[in-house]
Chain A
Amino acid sequence: MDKGYIENGFIVDVSNANKTSEIIYELSNVLDLPDAQCKKVCLKLGGIDLNSSQLTSIKALVESMNSELEFISTTSEQTKESADSLGVSIKEFENKIPMPEFNAEDDTINAELEKALDKIFGDNPEELESNVFNQGYRTIETEDYLYEELEEEKTVSEDENSEVNNESEQIENIIEEEISLEDIKEYTKETEKLPTLYIQRTIRSGQSITSKGNMVIIGDVHPGSEIIAAGDITIWGILGGIAHAGSEGNKFAKIRALKMNAIQLRIADVFARRPDNINIPYIQKTDTFVPEEASVRKKQIIIRKIHEGVNI
């Protein structure tokens, strides 16, 4: 049977009832709920025959509970007659849920996008800072490792690659400066084309998932696990392990999670680690989560709350 939909009200289906007392019992139970106060009530009566006095008592009951009998739906002739005499309207349920229409033109979307880009990559970082919420995540630097002891090997490699290094640095700088609308658009297009791995379970310590496309995980990602994807990573849960988005070099890749508690975040070749002073043994799952998104800006990983920032 069609369930139907009604705005700012609810439907009570009593078509299975045999007696009027059953209808009244069912109705009083429903109307007693705190959510039901002051809302419109629609009755689904099906083929039940009701005379005008029975319908009057039902209407009185609904009104006594601070609600309003909006309309009824019935197939019985007798019920229709008594409804007419009492002035209760009869309607069939619409089974369509109204959807917001979206018909903005390309130009308006582009303008919005441009504004958003300005906010993220533009020259006024003040506005940005309020949206950035990087939890003190720190880019992993060479000082953490024993690079300086590699002196011998280093010097050799530097001699060979010094020119190449300079060139690649220059190219990187150019990329940093000129992030255009086209780049983002292209990236979005490309990511959309990638296959997406959809996983619906908890990822536990020691488990590793690698994908050449995007990844969507419905569940928590526990510390000690790692997730590597060439595209974006979206986690509908708490991210506690290591996540590496854009593993094949895509700097526009993003990591999204309901809660970022990752030990390390990696996007393309930028790595960031959780600050030492944050020690969260576990997160209460009853907490309200604000979805967060990690992306790369100026060779650093930033995390912002999705609803605060501008979402691209």
Chain B
Amino acid sequence: MIETETFTQTKKTKGEIMSGRVIVITSGKGGVGKTTTNANIGTALAKAGKKVVMIDTDLGLRNLDLLLGLENRIVYTIVDVVEERCKLKQALVKDKKNPNLCLLAAAQTRDKSAVTQEQLKDICKKLQKDFDYVLVDCPAGIEQGFQNAVAGATEAIIVTTPEMSAVRDADRIIGLLESKEEIQSYKLLLNRVRPNLVKSNDMMSVDDVVEILSAELIGIIPEDTGIITSTNKGEPIVNDEKSLAGRAYHNVAKRIMGEEIPFMNLEEETSVVAKVKKFFSGLVGKEKK
């Protein structure tokens, strides 16, 4: 037991026991894209050849299975595992496309109290042995659901949007995470950034948010309408190579794996469309004058 505990601190072990990283994806505020981020990072990591398992800890309000399109395959949930109605690996649902990717679904008909912190810790420890990455999807809020999700993790990704309320909640979450000994590092993921609004000073810029939270950034995801369709279809947007948000998520996954990837310059990426729009708007403006 002592041995495995020391292994959790290292990223990769060369010994026989494989020890994966347990990363919790959290935000405090709801609706900022925790679950979307989880589904996409998980899929991107699996596409890069890593063995990934995602744990949905949002008991009673599960969504991760919907985003992955695995809703119809769920037979056993995390509560069944905890209450010993099935073995842990029986409850792991394989992804439709990528056999490296697995999901441990939350129970829809129970509430957060059905699983304790210790039980989740135990599950994470077991999964660490077989997977490179264990991604824990955290429910909104800072109550028991959050405490459970964080219990087994050693790293955290805090998802936030460039809005004051989300940033404030993220600040609270960082405070809570810092007080936990198990969490060794945390990083910030800025979601739903709209370069146009940032440019016109209507939205906080990436630098502003990083300055307020004084946390290390792991990714910037632009606002993308493709997310809506991908959510409805049950297919993560990283499967769409053309999508901007999909590429941004791929970059995040690469950074998690330790590669050094420069941040995407969102203004440049949209420049072609923006230039055309500007050109036309300029023409129209002149005509009107």
Contacts and interface: CB of A to CB of B under 8 A. Distances in A.
A99 B108 CA distance: 47
A276 interface: yes
Contacts of B94: 143-146
A263 B75 CA distance: 11
B96 A149 contact: no
Contacts of A264: 72, 74-75
Given A147-B89, A279-B234, A206 B73 contact: no
B178 to A, nearest CB: 34
B233 A145 contact: no
Nearest to B94: A144
B109 A207 contact: yes
Contacts of B232: 279, 281
Given A264-B72, A276-B69, A208 B92 contact: no
A206 B92 contact: no
A224 B73 contact: no
Interface in B43-61: 60-61
Contacts of A224: 108
A206 B60 contact: yes
A276 to B, nearest CB: 6
A274 interface: yes
Interface centre among A140, A205, A206, A275 (most CB of B within 10 A): A206
Given A144-B94, A145-B90, A153-B87, A208 B109 contact: yes
B22 interface: no
B252 interface: no
B91 to A, nearest CB: 8
Interface in B124-141: 130
Contacts of B80: none
A205 B108 contact: yes
B67 to A, nearest CB: 13
Interface string B195-237: 0000000000000000000000000000000000000111000
B89 A146 contact: yes
Interface string A43-87: 000000000000000000000000000000000000000000000
A146 B101 CA distance: 11
A146 B53 CA distance: 12
Interface centre among A145, A226, A271 (most CB of B within 10 A): A145
Interface residues of B, number: 22
B51 to A, nearest CB: 11
B73 A144 contact: yes
B75 A271 contact: yes
Contacts of A251: none
Nearest to B102: A146
Contact of B92 (A145, A207, A225, A276): A145
A89 B61 CA distance: 69
Contacts of A205: 108
Interface in A136-162: 140, 143-147, 149-150, 153
A133 B228 CA distance: 32
B93 A145 contact: yes
Contacts of B108: 205-206, 224-226
A146 B92 contact: yes
Contacts of B89: 145-147, 149-150
B71 interface: yes
Interface string B91-121: 0111010000010000011000000000000
Given A144-B93, A146-B89, A276-B96, A263 B233 contact: no
Contacts of B71: 223, 263
Interface in A235-288: 263-264, 271, 273-276, 279, 281
Contacts of A226: 108-109
A140 B87 contact: no
A264 B72 CA distance: 6
Contacts of B60: 206
B109 A276 contact: no
A225 B90 CA distance: 21
B256 to A, nearest CB: 23
B75 A274 contact: no
A263 B72 contact: yes
Contacts of A144: 73, 93-94
A274 B73 CA distance: 8
Interface in A178-203: none
A150 B60 CA distance: 29
A21 to B, nearest CB: 62
Given A143-B94, A146-B92, A226-B109, 16 more contacts: A144-B94, A145-B89, A146-B102, A147-B90, A150-B87, A150-B89, A205-B108, A206-B108, A206-B109, A226-B108, A263-B72, A264-B72, A264-B74, A271-B75, A279-B233, A279-B234
Interface of B: 60-61, 69, 71-75, 87, 89-90, 92-94, 96, 102, 108-109, 130, 232-234
6 contacts: A145-B94, A146-B89, A146-B94, A150-B89, A207-B109, A273-B72
